[in-house]
Amino acid sequence: MITENINLLTAIIAIVTASACALPGVFLVLRRMTLMSDAISHAILPGIVLAFFLTHSVSSPLLIVAATATGILTVVFVELLQKTKLVKEDAAIGLTFPALFSIGVILISRYSKNIHLDIDAVLLGELAYAPLNQLDINGREIGPVALYVMGFMFVLNVTFILVFYKELKLVTFDASLAATLGFAPTLIHYGLMALVSMTTVGAFDAVGSILVVALIVGPPATAYLMTDSLTRMLILSVIIGSINALSGYWLSIFLNVSIAGTIASVTLLVFVLVFLIVPNRGLVSIARRHIRQKWEFAQTMLVIHLFNHEGLPEAQEESEIAHLHEHLRWEPSFALRVVKNALNNRYVLQEASQLMLTERGRAKAQRALVQ
């Protein structure tokens, strides 16, 4: 095959894989369960190995079935451990997946002398080989297995989300309400976990078990910085995932380094970039707003201070410009600037060395206080 063709195929596989992973990731991020994907991606190893021993094939569908079962088993394990009240949630996850992963590693190194399954591949994956493993039907190669598997997972994830959109939304934002309305949150929960397991095992070949977490968590978290709407977050996650995958892939070719690793690095880069520049919520706009609000806030403090002491015996002392900074513990220069701003905004009037509230200033104080 021509190299360009392979490059194109690899890029497409990367994009489809990233899109398939991003969809269930949205719900994991919103439900604060992202680390379950980390746990699942490691813990399904023994399931894969056992299925492999039975079938002697890396592309058998039984592998996906076994991995899904092990993934759900992991979730059940973690929940059972928590239910004993002897272990907190984080420790329960931290206990379960290394143990299962260890079993998988031992099985592989003990019995895999003459079979093609090594820990390197499972843990790290190799996207470059993905297009070479072609699906063979009646002796005709009809495209890479990975493309079919991940394409199927993408369609399955989209279908699940479309069919159970309302239920997923409710379970995500109010699980107890979902239960009282008869929406069976447990069923949706395990359905989602099954999808995560299946998507993870499908993505194994391409990116390995650690970097799949970057594909599952990265794009949804980035999208979460940009929008409040669930629908938009789902769409954005797929778009961001695809952009990360594509640019990461080309960058890795250019630099001649690990493909999956570069995609993960780009994921972090894009996350940080979005965090810095996204309108309204980004660091830049937060900082800008912060500066603006600092002066606004200080003026409000000033009018409230005057308002609180208005008409009281100590009012004269409290409204003395020269003493303001002492009362409010402000830098004298800061206090003077606030007073100047407040005078400009006609919140206060200066009479001799004292500040008096205007109607406007009094209204502002009252408004702030009833908030």
Partner 1 sequence: MQIQETKAIQVTDLTVAYRETPVLWDIDLDVPPGVLLSIVGPNGAGKTTLIKAILGLVRPAAGNVLIYNKPYAVQRKIVGYVPQRGSVDWDFPTNVLDVVMMGRYGALGWVRRPGKQDRELAMHAIEKVGMEKYTTRQISQLSGGQQQRVFIARALVQDATIYLMDEPFQGVDATTERAIIALLQELRENGKTVVVVHHDLQTVTDYFDWVMLLNIRRIASGPVEDTFTADNLRETYGGRIAFIKNK
Partner 2 sequence: MLDFFFLTRFDYTLMVVSIGAALLGAISGALGTYAVLRRQSLLGDTISHAALPGIAIAFMLTGSKTPLILVLGAAIAGWIATLFVVGIVRLTRIKYDSALGIVLSTFFGFGLVLLSWIQHQGNANQAGLDTFIFGQAATLLQRDVLTIGILGGLALLITSILWKELKLLVFDEGFAASIGLPTRLLDIVLTSLLVIAIVIGLQAVGAVLMSAMLVAPAVAARQWTNRLNLMVILAGCFGAFSGVVGTFISSSATAIPTGPTIILCVTFMVVFSMALAPNRGLLWNSIKQSRNRHSLKLATSSLVKSTSVNNRIEENDNRKY
CB nearer to partner 2: pick between 286 and 321: 286
Of 124 and 315, CB closest to partner 1: 315
Nearest CA to 199 out of 37, 36, 32, 13 is that of 37
93 interacts with partner 2 by CB under 8 A: yes
Residues 299-338 that bind partner 2 (CB under 8 A): none
Binding positions for partner 2, 114-143, rule CB under 8 A: 119, 123-124
> Binding partner of residue 261 among partner 1, partner 2, none, CB under 5 to 8 Å per kind?
partner 2
- The span from the CA of 128 to the CA of 124, in Å, is 12
For every residue of 274-287, DSSP letters joined together read HHHHSTTTSHHHHH
**Rounded to whole angstroms, how far apart are CA atoms 270 and 281?**
15
The three state secondary structure string of 134-160 is EEEECCEEEEEHHHHHHHHHHHHHHHH
Size of the site for partner 1 (CB under 8 A): 17
Contact 353, 320 (CB under 8 A): yes
Shortest Å, Cβ 95 to partner 2? 6
Exactly one of 76, 268, 273, 322 binds partner 2 (CB under 8 A); that residue is: 268
Question: Judged by CB under 8 A, does residue 368 bind partner 1?
Answer: yes
Q: Are strands 134-137 and 140-144 parallel, antiparallel or unpaired?
A: antiparallel
Q: Given candidates 238, 245, 264, 302, which one binds partner 2 under the rule CB under 8 A?
A: 264
Give the other-Cβ count within 10 Å of 87's Cβ. Answer: 17
For CA atoms 3, 218, 158, 186, the dihedral sign is positive
- For residue 367, state whether it binds partner 1 (rule: CB under 8 A): no
- With CB under 5 to 8 Å by kind, the binding choice for 223 among partner 2, partner 1, none is none
* Three-state DSSP class for residue 338: helix
Output the CA angle 278-281-282, nearest 5 degrees: 50
Helix, strand or coil, per DSSP, at residue 36 = helix
Q: Which of 147, 175, 192 is nearest to 40 (CA)?
A: 192
List the single partner that 281 binds among partner 2, partner 1, none, CB under 5 to 8 Å by kind: partner 2
CB atoms within 10 A of CB 210: 16
CA angle 10, 211, 192 (to 5 degrees): 100
Segment contacting partner 2 (CB under 8 A): 1-9, 105-113, 184-192, 312-320? 105-113
Q: Of how many residues is the chain composed?
A: 371
252 binds, among partner 1, partner 2, none (CB under 5 to 8 A by kind): partner 2
Q: Which does 368 bind (CB under 5 to 8 A by kind): partner 2, partner 1, none?
A: partner 1
x/- string (CB under 8 A) for partner 1, residues 278-317?
-----------xx--x---xx-xx--xx--x---------
Q: Does 322 bind partner 1 (CB under 8 A)?
A: no
**Contacts with partner 2, residue ranges (CB under 8 A):** 29, 32-35, 37-38, 42, 84, 86-91, 93-95, 98-99, 101-103, 105-106, 109-110, 113, 119, 123-124, 210-214, 216-218, 220-221, 224-225, 252, 255-258, 260-265, 267-268, 271, 275, 281, 283, 286
**Contacts with partner 1, residue ranges (CB under 8 A):** 289-290, 293, 297-298, 300-301, 304-305, 308, 327-330, 368-369, 371
